[in-house]
Amino acid sequence: MNEPHLDALVVGAGFGGLYQLYSLLKLGMKVRAIEKAQGVGGVWFWNDYPGATTDTASYLFRYSWDKEDLQSYPWPNNYLSRDEVIGYLNHIVDKHHLRQHIRFSIEMVAADWSEAAGKWHVQTDQGEVITATYLFTAMGVHTRQNIPDIPGMDTFRGPLMHTASWDNNVDIVGRRVGVIGCGSSGIQISNAIAPRIAELHCFIRHPQFSVPLRFRPVSSAERSDINARYNNIHAAQLLSKMALDIEEADTKTMSVTEEERQRTFEALWRDGNSFRFIHGGFGDLTQNAEANEEACKFLRAKIRNIVKDPAKADILTSKELFVRRPLCDQGWYEKFNQDNVFAIDIQKTPIIAIEENGIRTSDGQIHELDIIVLATGFQSSGGSYKTVRDGIKGRGGVSLSDHWAEEIKTFLGIFIHSFPNLFMINGPQGPFSIAPVTIETEVEFITEMISYLRETHRIDAVVECTPEEETKWVELCGRSADTETLVNTVSSWLTGTNIAGAKPSTIFFYSGLKQYRSHLHEVKDAGYGVLLGRTTRRVAVN
């Protein structure tokens, strides 16, 4: 059944899509959301593997605009499990009557901008075409799985699953499980299943640093205290870099004595959470290699201290700087003290094949397994966009994959030149700060802009950034990566180089949420001029 023409179509029903839907409905617009999954949650819907947990504090992993909910909705522990996130989002959807506006199990397979009509034509996998004046893509960062090309994958006789398509019907108890990959997903699932399975074999190419999460219940006194301070907490987030609700330190690592440095690292380790570890003690760990190396030395000593077998400790210890997306764990290193938990160094002995009964490494050994888990990550660098089946095509039929062939290019992480009236929520080149407040910032900016267009009777205006603004933003993101981070010193999803052969891109604006918001304010204060330069009038066509 074809939808009638919409003012706006929102693609995706995770944190971003839901808030955008809610906001546009409040403006009185004719809007619909489509979602590929059978339920809400976006990345949290799909990542239903054992141990999937947020590493953002529970009280920050909420929408800030539902003040009543902030006070009353339960979060028993300091971090949320995947199921709690899904429960919360379903609660929001029901409370705000959003469900009737969402169509589930529908995937956008093509989107074409019609210059003549001034509309987007979106084709779904159900064979229908939806037309909409505005297209909001809230399609997530970690959406397209990265499936490695290992010979013999189809010959394995047991279940072989990516973490993002985990099948909870598979009984893991007493089985021998192999986990390929040790990013957030790999360490979370390994940690969660280790106590229940016969053997755990972790295949590790680049070990990463992890800091304990310090998962714990939250007392009612703590909850009351946070409830009383919510407005201030939110206001402080908006004026910070990472939005972690911590004092972001500016002390230089090398400006203090060795003793004080160790004391600070120790306190950060004890308090837990790797983002807090990086930003809570010193101000230059992300930027300065010498400072970062001090943190690495501290973490390497911790690993050696926890993991009793020196050979395993060596495989688990990163020789790189601490510059990948920081990891948090609930006892991952400790699990390697179990005799049935093995670490396999696949830099030294790469995986050469998957066979009927396990994984063969280059030393000729077959690691016998009943279940294989691919914790191999995602095509995070624009993959959600570039892999839309029949493409997203803007002015003159230019495809987004072509537009981004050399590198990802956006303005503010929201707008793309040649793709009018298309707005990305949590797309590439937005701020590297925690969700949902980052998402809210983007949604509120776009919603205010559309509201402004409606109020000033400019609903026919086509919103599009200029190539110059795009170029400037890409340069700014690149500079922020160079000055604020060391991310370009390794290959990881933060630069898109986790995918073999991919060209590096800057996929975040690293100067922080406060700085990002000031760029948004500049655009807004100038009457959105840089986005409205190319106004064309639409012809009324359905």
Q: Note whether 361 binds ligand NA7 by CB under 6 A.
A: no
Q: Which single residue brings its beta carbon nearest to ligand NA7?
A: 183
Rule CB under 6 A: choose which of 20, 185, 264, 441 binds ligand NA7: 185
The three-class DSSP label of residue 72 is helix
Question: Pattern 152-171, binding to ligand NA7, x per CB under 6 A?
Answer: -----------x--------
Q: How far apart are CA 533 and CA 536, in angstroms?
A: 9
Give whichever of 325 and 395 is closer to ligand NA7, judged by the CB atom.
Answer: 325
Which pair of structure tokens corresponds to residue 289?
């290699």
Q: How far is the CB of 284 from ligand NA7 (least distance, A)?
A: 22
Q: How far is the CB of 489 from ligand NA7 (least distance, A)?
A: 13
Q: How far apart are CA 389 and CA 108, in angstroms?
A: 8
Which pair of structure tokens corresponds to residue 304?
């050696």
Which pair of structure tokens corresponds to residue 511?
């100067």
Q: How far apart are CA 368 and CA 355, in angstroms?
A: 9
Q: How far is the CB of 184 from ligand NA7 (least distance, A)?
A: 4
Q: Note whether 275 binds ligand NA7 by CB under 6 A.
A: no
Stretch that binds ligand NA7, among 100-108, 179-187, 385-393, 409-417 (CB under 6 A): 179-187
Which pair of structure tokens corresponds to residue 163?
């973490």
Which pair of structure tokens corresponds to residue 359?
């994984």
Q: Are strands 31-34 and 102-103 parallel, antiparallel or unpaired?
A: parallel
Q: Note whether 139 binds ligand NA7 by CB under 6 A.
A: no
Q: What is the number of other CB atoms lying within 10 angstroms of the CB of residue 105?
A: 12
Q: How many residues bind to ligand NA7 according to rule CB under 6 A?
A: 21
Q: Are strands 371-374 and 176-180 parallel, antiparallel or unpaired?
A: parallel
Q: Note whether 190 binds ligand NA7 by CB under 6 A.
A: no
Core vs surface per residue 118-147: b (16+ CB within 10 A) or e: bbbbbbbeeeeebbbbbbbbbbbbbbbbbe
Rule CB under 6 A: choose which of 51, 118, 178, 181 binds ligand NA7: 181
Say if CB 288 and CB 455 are below 8 A apart: no
Question: Pattern 367-406, binding to ligand NA7, x per CB under 6 A?
Answer: --------xxxx----------------------------
Q: Note whether 206 binds ligand NA7 by CB under 6 A.
A: yes
What residues numbered 29-88 form the site for ligand NA7, per CB under 6 A? none
Stretch that binds ligand NA7, among 142-150, 234-242, 313-321, 451-459 (CB under 6 A): 142-150
Q: How far is the CB of 135 from ligand NA7 (least distance, A)?
A: 25
Q: How far is the CB of 38 from ligand NA7 (least distance, A)?
A: 21
Rule CB under 6 A: choose which of 184, 318, 381, 410 binds ligand NA7: 184
Give the type of residue at 166. W
Q: How far is the CB of 241 from ligand NA7 (least distance, A)?
A: 17
Say if CB 404 and CB 386 are below 8 A apart: yes
Q: How far apart are CA 11 and CA 17, in angstroms?
A: 7
Q: Note whether 142 binds ligand NA7 by CB under 6 A.
A: yes
* Helical pair 82-95 and 15-26, crossing angle rounded to 10 deg: 10
Q: How far is the CB of 256 from ligand NA7 (least distance, A)?
A: 30
Q: How far apart are CA 107 and CA 129, in angstroms?
A: 12
Give whichever of 134 and 275 is closer to ligand NA7, judged by the CB atom.
Answer: 275
Rule CB under 6 A: choose which of 99, 121, 205, 479 binds ligand NA7: 205
Q: How far apart are CA 426 and CA 241, in angstroms?
A: 16
Q: How many CA atoms lie within 13 A of 189 on its CB side?
A: 31
Which pair of structure tokens corresponds to residue 97?
């009557």
Stretch that binds ligand NA7, among 140-148, 190-198, 237-245, 390-398 (CB under 6 A): 140-148
What residues numbered 454-513 form the site for ligand NA7, per CB under 6 A? 493, 498
Binding region for ligand NA7 (CB under 6 A): 142, 146, 148, 163, 180-186, 205-206, 325, 346, 375-378, 493, 498
